[in-house]
Copies of this chain bind each other. A is one copy, B any other.
Amino acid sequence: MNSRERFLKACRCEPVDRPPIWVMRQAGRHLPEYREFRKKHTFHEVVKAPELALEVTMQPIRRYKMDAAIIFSDILVIPEAMGQQYGFPEGGGIEMDFAVRTQADVDRLSVDGIESRLSYMSESLRLVKKELNGERALIGFSGSPWTLATYMVEGKSSKTYTHAKKMFYEDRVLFDRLMRKITQAVVRYVRLQIAAGVDAIQLFDSWGGVLAPDAFTQASAFWMKRVVDSVAGQVPVIIFSKDMSHLGDILATTGANVLGVNWNRRLSTVKNSLPSGIAVQGNLDPTVLNTNPEVVEREALRILKDMRGLPGHIFNLGHGIQPDASPENVAKLVDTVTNFK
């Protein structure tokens, strides 16, 4: 069983020799070789130049025995391709070149021909797939419609998502028009990735967790279901609705094959609360990778033992790895999981 087979079996809740592992944001700032590479190329350059994206995607694969590679990209390429540019201002965070607040703003967004504006993604995926040679899984991804909407409506990073929530609560007609448009774009983007050969798609519903359950159902889960339906049966879909694993009944309605789980619940409790065909991915506290190898091994084993005998577990962190995590600790984590019996 090679890594790719192990990963795909785990997505389907089939028996595996040990849980497959990858790490959210494994390609990125915690790696010295990434920081070195970024001295020569901007973030946007790396995302859009297939040869550069290939290099960065492969960096963690060369260094660690990860079972899956995730394409180096950014969730905000969708609003960008729809006509809403973005950047990283000096003070930190994200800034969009306008905020979507009115019907006229929604009208400025375009889905037509989006594939050509995102064609660099197809090319990047083809290069990585070739390099992985069928041995490791290749994960494509997109922001969830709701999570993309938060950036597009706020016009920048936010802590409270007030404008996006206000639109949902106060003007459902406008909100739904925006969401339909974003969802169309996401569906096309995901299909493009499948055509380029990804083994699975992860939807980052990073800000699903800021919604009350009824609002989550209508503002996020409903639209994710449309995305999942549009690719049904082609590749497994992983939904990472951070902080929402307690809403397994709602998440199950999306048709997702795998649910990402943060670290504030015991993973076996989450798994046992779900319909039997749904796998889980998680759920180590990323901060553990900022401690030392001894703690890393102990905390990883806690999860591995907790999940022993439960099929459908992809080992991962409960959120992205922190930029100041040590590669030594990541190596220890991967060793612990790959040697687990």
- Residues of A near any B CB (own CB < 8 A): 160-162, 165-166, 169-170, 209-216, 243-244, 246-247, 263-266, 283, 285-288, 290-292, 295, 299, 302, 322, 324
Given contacts A160-B287, A287-B162, A287-B165, contact A292 B214 (CB under 8 A): no
Q: Collect the chain B residues with CB atoms within 8 Å of residue A295's CB.
A: 169-170
Q: In the complex, given contacts A169-B287, A169-B291, A244-B264, what are 16 additional A-B residue pairs having Cβ atoms less than 8 angstroms apart? A: A160-B286, A160-B322, A161-B287, A165-B285, A166-B287, A209-B264, A210-B264, A211-B285, A212-B285, A213-B265, A213-B266, A243-B264, A246-B264, A246-B265, A247-B264, A247-B265
Q: Collect the chain B residues with CB atoms within 8 Å of residue A287's CB.
A: 160-162, 165-166, 169
Smallest CB-CB A-B distances: 4 pairs = A212-B263, A165-B287, A169-B295, A246-B246
User: Which residue on chain B has the smallest CB distance to residue A212?
Assistant: B263
Q: Collect the chain B residues with CB atoms within 8 Å of residue A215's CB.
A: 285
Which of B162, B247, B299 meets A290, CB within 8 Å?
A: B162
Which of B212, B214, B264 meets A212, CB within 8 Å?
A: B264
Q: Collect the chain B residues with CB atoms within 8 Å of residue A214's CB.
A: 302
19 pairs of residues in contact across A and B, judged by CB atoms under 8 Å: A160-B286, A160-B287, A161-B287, A162-B287, A162-B324, A165-B287, A169-B288, A169-B299, A170-B292, A170-B295, A212-B263, A212-B283, A212-B285, A212-B299, A213-B264, A213-B266, A214-B302, A215-B285, A247-B264
Report the separation of the CA atoms of residues A299 and B165 in the bound assembly, to the nearest whole angstrom. Answer: 13
Report the separation of the CA atoms of residues A285 and B211 in the bound assembly, to the nearest whole angstrom. Answer: 8
User: Which residue on chain B has the smallest CB distance to residue A270?
Assistant: B246
Report the separation of the CA atoms of residues A243 and B286 in the bound assembly, to the nearest whole angstrom. Answer: 18
Report the separation of the CA atoms of residues A164 and B34 in the bound assembly, to the nearest whole angstrom. Answer: 28
Report the separation of the CA atoms of residues A112 and B283 in the bound assembly, to the nearest whole angstrom. Answer: 42
Report the separation of the CA atoms of residues A21 and B165 in the bound assembly, to the nearest whole angstrom. Answer: 24
Q: Collect the chain B residues with CB atoms within 8 Å of residue A166's CB.
A: 287, 290-291
Q: Collect the chain B residues with CB atoms within 8 Å of residue A292's CB.
A: 170
Q: Among A213, A216, A322, which residue has the most Cβ atoms of chain B within 10 A?
A: A213
Which of B162, B211, B243, B244 meets A322, CB within 8 Å?
A: B162
User: Which residue on chain B has the smallest CB distance to residue A246?
Assistant: B246
Report the separation of the CA atoms of residues A265 and B248 in the bound assembly, to the nearest whole angstrom. Answer: 11
Q: Collect the chain B residues with CB atoms within 8 Å of residue A285's CB.
A: 165, 211-212, 215
Report the separation of the CA atoms of residues A285 and B162 in the bound assembly, to the nearest whole angstrom. Answer: 11
Q: Collect the chain B residues with CB atoms within 8 Å of residue A243's CB.
A: 243, 264
Q: Collect the chain B residues with CB atoms within 8 Å of residue A324's CB.
A: 162
Please give the distance in Å from A186's CB to the nearest CB on chain B.
23
